[in-house]
Chains A and B, each alone.
Chain A
């Protein structure tokens, strides 16, 4: 009986070896990327199972929230609806990608405990599962984005390619935050609460519901807020505004440093994560 499938697990230690194993985990997860998709779709499906509208609830509830907050705050702040409603719609939808990916990242490994403790599935499969699930949500929300941009005429001037680059930067950065939250939450069960609080605070301190010009563009609350840059890189191109070059510098630096740091933590804790659970 011959076989080409081979599994080798050794008790070797050392930083370089652990890094190699982490890279191998990542590579194997790409080989089974279809599984991550299946799991993500399954998650979305089971959340709305039994409801009449199904996953359309994702779109509907977001639509109601955007309309409610849009009309209310536009009146409250005395801002024209055609400026404010698209602004809030984009803000809530895209900030939701960040919050969703990071807060659900806390459950990445905890919820996969059963599978991780009796299979050799790559750990990264579950990281992709969390990210893909949020991308599927985003796809449902895009209906609202497109509707609002079309209704208020922004579609003519929107710079779609630049916005896509912005979305990519957003997902890449949310990705490492998600993985880091996942590892930390597996080890310390207080982390999910902390992450939830931080993200809740972030949504108010970042110009999601309010316009940044009330502060002036270079205010510290904006410049030192990574979430502001993340959001601007997506929202500004769609609303015919320029993205400051500085934002891209921040985002790329953050992505590189963040992933390097997180991957190092992953390499160091990978063999232990299954024992944390």
Chain B
């Protein structure tokens, strides 16, 4: 197997979402449409397309920490999900060399009825660790959660802060070359936030590339060295973090 440098490349990436309204999901409506229009099904069955990303070009190499900025609905999360491999482009290509870890939703794979320990195992398995690797990391993860004996209790008995601690510890136990993060995950009390910050920095250091979507300027300045702005699915040039103010003003 050939080994390549860690990198992310997007060329003319265009993503369109078909919006299947509450109506379109009902078979009755779909059938009624076929019957009524009589063969006009080719008109895409009344499904509307929303263009979420429009010809995005992106090239990142190891050491790049890209901050994504833009209004709500500008396509930041969509871009992150596309980079995670969940979405397939309608046009263009996405190419990622390296192990990808997407910390988009801390609650991913968390089962509230299962115990904390079970959830850590499950989350690790989903992230691509083998059962053995999970066991090897178990002690480190459990220590980090600081939940002690509570780990043997179902997650539904946890407070919101405790749940966040667990999810955060489990989600960040992965080894990745490419780290995708949606918003800065500010969780827990002040003490935990300090620990979380340290852990994230370490993760970011280990990871070759970080792509972070956030609205918070201080965080951008703290973690990122490059910035890109999205407006209605159209991406700006990637600029150095020092030009952030110009980009924000634009």
Given contacts A6-B4, A7-B95, A11-B88, contact A118 B105 (CB under 8 A): yes
Nearest CB on B from A191, distance (A): 7
A11, B93: Cβ atoms closer than 8 Å: yes
A119: contacting residue among B62, B93, B126, CB under 8 A:
B126
CB of A241 within 8 Å of the partner chain: no
Question: Which residues of the partner chain A approach B98 to less than 8 Å between Cβ atoms?
Answer: 1, 3, 5
Nearest CB on A from B79, distance (A): 12
Q: Within residues 25 to 82 of chain A, which ones have a CB less than 8 A from any CB in chain B?
A: 32, 34-35, 38-39, 42, 45-46, 49-50
B3, A46: Cβ atoms closer than 8 Å: no
Of the stretches A84-92, A109-117, A150-158, A175-183, the one at the interface is A109-117
Cα separation A272 to B97 with both chains bound (whole Å): 24
Question: Which residues of the partner chain B approach A218 to less than 8 Å between Cβ atoms?
Answer: none
A120: contacting residue among B86, B104, B107, B130, CB under 8 A:
B86
Cα separation A2 to B17 with both chains bound (whole Å): 34
Cα separation A118 to B104 with both chains bound (whole Å): 7
Cα separation A191 to B26 with both chains bound (whole Å): 9
Question: Which residues of the partner chain A approach B208 to less than 8 Å between Cβ atoms?
Answer: 1, 3
B25: contacting residue among A35, A46, A49, A187, CB under 8 A:
A187
Q: Residue among A9, A32, A45, A117 with the most chain B CB within 10 A?
A: A9
Q: How many residues of A contact B (CB 8 A)?
A: 40
Q: Within residues 102 to 126 of chain A, which ones have a CB less than 8 A from any CB in chain B?
A: 114-121
CB of A189 within 8 Å of the partner chain: yes
Question: Which residues of the partner chain B approach A190 to less than 8 Å between Cβ atoms?
Answer: 26-28
Name A8's closest neighbour in chain B (CB-CB): B95
Cα separation A24 to B84 with both chains bound (whole Å): 17
A119, B85: Cβ atoms closer than 8 Å: yes
A118, B93: Cβ atoms closer than 8 Å: no
Question: Which residues of the partner chain B approach A7 to less than 8 Å between Cβ atoms?
Answer: 85, 94-97, 100
CB of B89 within 8 Å of the partner chain: yes
Name A38's closest neighbour in chain B (CB-CB): B125
A4, B5: Cβ atoms closer than 8 Å: no
Cα separation A38 to B96 with both chains bound (whole Å): 27
A187: contacting residue among B20, B86, B92, CB under 8 A:
B20
B92: contacting residue among A11, A39, A188, CB under 8 A:
A11
CB of A275 within 8 Å of the partner chain: yes
CB of B90 within 8 Å of the partner chain: yes
Question: Which residues of the partner chain B approach A272 to less than 8 Å between Cβ atoms?
Answer: 18
CB of A267 within 8 Å of the partner chain: no
Question: Which residues of the partner chain B approach A116 to less than 8 Å between Cβ atoms?
Answer: 86
Q: Within residues 219 to 277 of chain A, which ones have a CB less than 8 A from any CB in chain B?
A: 271-272, 274-276
Tell me the B residues contacting A by CB distance below 8 Å: 1-6, 13-14, 17-18, 20, 25-28, 30, 62, 81-82, 84-100, 102, 104-105, 107-109, 111, 113-114, 118, 121-122, 125-126, 128, 130-131, 154, 177, 208
Q: List the 10 closest pairs (A to B, CB-CB), nearest first.
A: A120-B85, A190-B27, A11-B91, A11-B89, A271-B88, A188-B27, A2-B3, A1-B62, A9-B94, A3-B98
